[in-house]
Amino acid sequence: MNNSAQPSARARLVRVLVTLACLVVVATILWQLLPKAAFSSDLSQVGQGRPALVMLREVNFVGGDRVIEHMLEIYPDYEQNMVFLVVHTGNPTGQNFAAEHGVTDGDLVLFDAEGNAQSQLSQPSGTNDIRQFLQQAL
């Protein structure tokens, strides 16, 4: 009788450990889905006297995550001279921006200080791509 109690205690322990492992996996996935940057999405900053680099983000795709990481790397070098923004397709502003500029997840649009769209870059693969884009366009 004592032997039959041990497997059920082990089974309960295994069940608890598996449940905890599943919760950790779900929490990790949810953490990864959170926005990674504190870039504003306020498009009213475009045309306010400084160039603006705007990225379109679609949360159902992963390309934009990588572009945000690249933007975060170069941001300190450009923050005094330009505005970095990220708009999301989950709201009407982002949807209108995507339609107006013909961009998709991870695409960048550079605006001059007066708010005129100057050029676009489709899903840059690294920080060097963004730096070259900005140097050529500015």
CB distance 57 to 68 below 8 Å: yes
Q: What is the pLDDT of residue 34?
A: 59
Helix (H) or strand (E) holding 109: strand 108-111
Q: What is the pLDDT of residue 56?
A: 93
- The pTM score is 0.71
CB distance 63 to 94 below 8 Å: no
Alpha carbon distance, N-terminus to C-terminus of the chain = 81
Q: What is the pLDDT of residue 4?
A: 53
* The pair of three-digit structure tokens given for residue 38, joined into one six-digit string: 């504190």
Residue ranges in the chain modelled with pLDDT below 50: 1
Q: What is the pLDDT of residue 119?
A: 94
CB distance 82 to 50 below 8 Å: yes
Q: What is the pLDDT of residue 87?
A: 93
The DSSP 8-state label assigned to residue 40 in this structure reads B
Q: Render pLDDT for 92-121 as a digit per residue (tens, 0 to 9).
A: 999 999 999 999 999 999 999 999 999 999
